[in-house]
Every structure is written in C-alpha cells, then in structure tokens.
Amino acid sequence: MARKQQQPRRRKGHSGQKRAQRFFGRTRIWTWETDREPGTDAQNAVAVSRTIRGWEPLPPDVANAITRHRNNWIVCVRALCQDGSGTEWLEEEVRIMQNQRLNDFNELYHDLREKVLAAQRYDQVIDVGWIAGTWVKEPKDEELSLVDLGEASKARQLLWRDVDADYRKQREAA
C-alpha cells in the first residue's frame, strides 16, 4: 500500500498593508486651522504614535506615509469654543473610516466643519481643527477629541477669523 505523502501547510502570504496597520494601530494626527507656517497657508500637523515609552512624536516623512496608506481611522472635526464668562467647551463631529487613506478625508472635512460651525455661535468659536486616530480591532478612543486643545485666547480667535475668511473665499472660488 502506498502511503499518502502529507503536504506541508501553506502559510498565508505576507501583507505589508496589514503589518503597517497593526504597527501604526495607535497613531494620532491633528492640526488646528490657526497652526500655520508664518507667511504661508501650509498647516502644521502633529503626529504621535503610542509606544512602550508613551506617546512619541513621528517624523514628518513617517506621518505623511501613514496618511497615504489605508488604515482604520476615527476622525473628529472639532471647534474650541468659549463664552463671555470664560467657560470653554468643544463642539465635535466624529466619523469612523475603515480601510481608507486619511488623505481622502478632505471633502469629508469640509462637510463636518460646516456642521460643527452651524452648531455654535460664530462669536464663541476660538479655533477649528481636526484630529484622527488609527485603530485595529475596534474604535475606542473616547478622549481623542480632547488631545492638544491649546489655549483659548482672543489672539487665537482673531487669527482664526482671518483664516476662516480666507477659507470661505477659497471654497467660493472652487
């Protein structure tokens, strides 16, 4: 009787995309509209990743690579607000994006920005921005919107109003 030879188990092929998603499964990227390079319209963004040493900043080239590759994202467009008595709060709109590029978030940002601003009195808005965080198994980062709010100052509010006026002109021209 001939003995049946056992075939070796085949392993699944390596997926660089899945490996990158796991590796950067705890990453945050955020910016505020007033955080711009002096003399230009280029916004500064901050990117950090969770490591065993805590939240560590990512170099710009790594942060740019993360935004170009597909990931699972929690995206929060937020407005820092303050009333006349000095009480601060955050107005936010959150969306979950699965297996998408953060670079594809641009049009969604415009829609969510309008919703956030429609929920507030214009004179109470200090600044508007967005924050996005990656996730692997399930989105559960409730404190994401509270990261790096910055100081609510009159100077920041005046700068944001100038930025907002430019933003509206650009959107009308488009």
pLDDT at 18: 57
CA distance linking residue 172 with residue 174, whole number of Å: 5
Count of other CB atoms within 10 angstroms of residue 2: 4
The H or E element that residue 91 is part of is strand 88-100
82 three-state secondary structure: strand
pLDDT at 45: 85
The H or E element that residue 133 is part of is strand 125-134
pLDDT at 26: 81
Residue ranges, the chain, pLDDT below 70? 1-5, 8, 11-25, 38-39, 140-141
Count of other CB atoms within 10 angstroms of residue 168: 10
29 three-state secondary structure: strand
pTM over 0.85: no
The token pair at 124 is: 């109470």
- Phi, psi dihedrals of residue 128, rounded to the nearest 5°: -125, 145
**Closest residue by Cα to residue 48 from 32, 66, 73, 72:** 66
- The residue behind tokens 């509209």 is 33
DSSP state, residue 36: B
Query: What distance, in Å, lies between the first and last C-alpha atoms of the chain?
Result: 78
